[in-house]
């Protein structure tokens, strides 16, 4: 079997077109969805992510504000900025680009965001709502993956989904979303013993480990759907995923590429969450 490629870029473009129409509608009612992005310090990767997020906002007609601070700012100063944004009627979504400098506690910062403006879905209030299966803001990467699975018509009911990675940003919310959609979910991580014997049972395999080319064909069941979240640099400095694409493609029914898979969906879901916040 040669797997079909899930074109994240194309799905994201389609979704952005729909969102752009919703934004037009909201504007006619006098509401322009607004996203505030806070960047502390000058980490080059974070700067690129933030630039891409802003570009995407503009593309669909949203309002976006970049608030940039030197890495020496105090935690209190940052918390005050968030308190102001929580009250700002023109801002519907607040995103603090992570990582933050070491002297600032990210959990404290995330908890200071009004849960109704928590478009990253990291606030414990939204995390809790996801767990009890209530409507909430869900982290963008797992949300984008669900959209992709819907796009290919993959019915999760009763399927065995194996998620490799248990971060709060990707792995844990991913598994929870799949469970809420009636999949049987197994989480794996760096302490999992004999990983391939577990991943080979997966109808749906999602890798979010951040290790270039770790997932070879030996980890994959014939006909599985394989989603590669990893964004890594290989030995030549080229962007690559966790999955050895050319090899795994021969076994999978569907597979996401890197780049052009999960990445474009993540940004699009940030837009979707901000539009949702504006509607609320
Ligand atoms: P973290 O480093 O926070 O988590 C990685 C997880 O993978 C951990 O749970 C770790 O286990 C597990 N792990 C690491 N190595 C192995 C291994 N060899 N075998 C099994 N499990 C392993 O990363 P993130 O969740 O934040 O991100 C994961 C990847 O996804 C990164 O490459 C990141 O760049 C990418 N990413 C891509 C996005 C996109 O839009 N495409 C968005 C967000 C992230 P343990 O808990 O035991 O340490």
Q: What is the DSSP string of 7-74?
A: -HHHHHHHHHHHHHHHHHHHHHTT---EEEEEEES--HHHHHHHHHHHHHHHHTT-EEEEEEE-TT--
- Global confidence as pTM: 0.97
Residue of 202, 209, 228 to test ligand 1 pocket, by largest number of atoms within 8 Å of CB: 209
Say yes or no: CB of residue 97 within 6 Å of ligand 1.
Answer: no
Catalytic residue positions, numbered: 53, 97, 120
Question: Three-class SS of residue 200?
Answer: coil
280 versus 24: the higher-pLDDT residue is: 24
In order of start, what are the domains of the chain with their CATH numbers? Answer: 30-114 (3.40.50.10860), 139-263 (3.40.50.720)
The mean pLDDT of 253-258, rounded to a whole number, is: 98
Distance 229 CA to ligand 1 centre (A): 8
- pLDDT tens string 164-189: 999 999 999 999 999 999 999 999 99
Mean pLDDT of the chain: 97
Instruction: State the pLDDT at residue 1.
Output: 77
Of the residues 229, 239, 266, which should be mutated to test ligand 1's pocket, given the most ligand atoms within 8 Å of the CB?
229
Query: Strand, coil or helix: what is 224?
Result: coil
Does any ligand 1 atom lie closer than 6 A to the CB of residue 258? no
Tens-digit pLDDT profile for residues 208-248: 999 999 999 999 999 999 999 999 999 999 999 999 999 99
Distance between CA atoms of 60 and 222, rounded to whole angstroms? Answer: 39
Q: What share of the chain has pLDDT > 70, as a percent?
A: 100
Average pLDDT over residues 17-39: 97
56-84 residue pLDDT tens = 999 999 999 999 999 999 999 999 999 99
d(CA 120, CA 137): 7
Q: What is the pLDDT of residue 58?
A: 95
Whether the CB-CB separation of 199 and 164 falls below 8 Å is answered with: yes
Phi-psi group of 121: left, alpha or beta (phi > 0 → left; psi -120 to 50 → alpha; rest → beta): left
């Amino acid at each position: 079997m040669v797997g079909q490629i899930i074109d994240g870029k194309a799905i994201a473009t389609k979704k952005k077109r729909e969102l752009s129409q919703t934004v037009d509608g909201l504007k006619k009612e006098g509401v322009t969805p607004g996203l505030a992005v806070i960047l502390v310090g000058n980490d080059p990767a974070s700067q690129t992510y933030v630039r891409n997020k802003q570009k995407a906002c503009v593309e669909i007609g949203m309002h976006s504000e970049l608030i940039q601070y030197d890495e020496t700012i105090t935690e209190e100063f940052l918390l005050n900025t968030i308190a102001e944004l929580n009250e700002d009627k023109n801002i519907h979504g607040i995103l603090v680009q992570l990582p933050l400098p070491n002297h600032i506690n990210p959990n404290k910062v995330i908890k200071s965001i009004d849960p109704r403006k928590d478009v990253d879905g990291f606030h414990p209030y939204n995390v809790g709502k996801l767990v009890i299966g209530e409507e909430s803001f869900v982290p963008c990467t797992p949300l984008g993956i669900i959209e992709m699975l819907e796009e290919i018509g993959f019915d999760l009911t009763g399927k065995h989904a194996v998620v490799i990675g248990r971060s709060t940003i990707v792995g844990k919310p991913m598994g929870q979303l799949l469970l809420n959609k009636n999949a049987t979910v197994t989480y794996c991580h760096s302490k999992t013993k004999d990983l391939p014997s577990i991943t080979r049972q997966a109808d749906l395999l999602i890798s979010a480990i951040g290790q270039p080319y770790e997932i070879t064909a030996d980890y994959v069941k014939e006909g599985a759907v394989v989603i590669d979240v990893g964004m890594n640099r290989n030995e030549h400095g080229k962007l690559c995923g966790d999955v050895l694409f050319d090899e795994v493609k021969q076994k999978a029914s569907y597979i996401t590429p890197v780049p052009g898979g999960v990445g474009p969906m993540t940004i699009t879901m940030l837009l979707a969450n901000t539009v949702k916040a504006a509607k609320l």
